[in-house]
C-alpha cells in the first residue's frame, strides 16, 4: 500500500489526547472523508482512526480512537500523517498531486533534459516547481512556462526561453 502524506501534526491540544493538525490541501472538506490516517515511524506504520474532527482557525483538531491522554499522542508530534493513495480524491484533468510530479524529468521544447522536479513550492499566487539539474531553477506552474505534463512518459515540458535563468 502506498501512503501519501496529507498533513502534519503540529501540537498536542488539551488533556484528552487531541492533536492540532495542519492539512496540506486547500479543500478542507476532503479531509473529513478519511476514515483512517497512518503514521510512519522507524519503518512501522500505525493506523489511526479519527473519533472526532473539528476545524478552527486554519487547523483540524483530531481525537483518535484509543488515544485518550496527551502522553498517548506524543509520538505523533511533528509527524506527517498519510492516507492510502487509493483514498485520495481524483484530481481534475489539469491538476496533479505533488507526489506525482516530484522526480519527473523536466525537458525544454527541443526535448533536451533540463533536470528533475525536486519539490513543489506553494506560494499562494501560484505553485512553483524547483528543478535541479546543472543549476537549480524555479518554474511557475502556469501556462506560458509549463507546456505539457505527461505522467505516462514521466516528464514535464517547459518553455525554457520564458524562464529567467
Q: Tens of pLDDT along the chain (165 residues)?
A: 789 999 999 998 988 999 999 988 776 788 888 999 999 888 889 999 999 999 988 899 999 999 999 999 999 999 999 999 999 888 888 888 899 999 999 999 999 999 999 999 888 788 899 999 888 989 998 888 999 999 999 999 998 777 765
CA 72, CA 91: separation in Å to the nearest integer?
Answer: 35
Do 21 and 34 form a contact (C-beta atoms < 8 A)? no
Cα–Cα distance between 8 and 77 in angstroms, integer?
8
Domains of the chain: 3-87 (2.40.30.60), 98-162 (2.30.30.240)
Is the Cβ–Cβ distance between 22 and 7 less than 8 Å?
yes
User: What's 75's DSSP letter?
Assistant: G
Look up cell 483540524; give the residue.
60
Q: Which residues contact 165 (CB under 8 A, 6 or more apart)?
A: 135, 137
114 burial level (CB within 10 Å; 0-12, 13-18, 19+): buried
Amino acid at each position: 500500500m502506498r501512503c501519501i502524506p496529507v498533513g502534519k501534526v503540529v501540537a498536542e491540544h488539551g488533556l484528552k489526547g487531541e492533536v492540532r493538525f495542519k492539512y496540506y490541501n486547500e479543500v478542507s472538506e476532503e479531509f473529513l472523508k478519511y476514515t483512517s490516517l497512518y503514521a510512519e515511524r522507524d519503518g512501522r506504520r500505525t493506523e489511526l482512526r479519527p473519533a472526532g474532527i473539528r476545524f478552527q482557525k486554519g487547523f483540524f483538531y483530531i481525537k483518535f480512537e484509543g488515544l485518550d491522554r496527551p502522553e498517548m499522542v506524543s509520538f505523533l508530534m511533528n509527524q506527517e500523517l498519510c492516507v492510502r493513495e487509493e483514498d485520495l480524491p481524483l484530481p481534475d484533468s489539469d491538476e496533479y498531486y505533488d507526489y506525482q510530479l516530484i522526480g519527473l524529468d523536466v525537458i525544454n521544447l527541443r526535448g533536451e533534459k533540463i533536470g528533475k522536479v525536486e519539490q513543489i513550492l506553494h506560494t499562494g499566487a501560484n505553485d512553483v516547481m524547483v528543478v535541479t539539474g546543472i543549476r537549480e531553477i524555479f518554474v511557475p506552474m502556469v501556462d506560458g512556462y509549463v507546456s505539457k505534463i505527461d505522467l505516462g512518459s514521466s516528464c514535464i515540458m517547459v518553455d525554457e526561453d520564458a524562464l529567467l535563468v
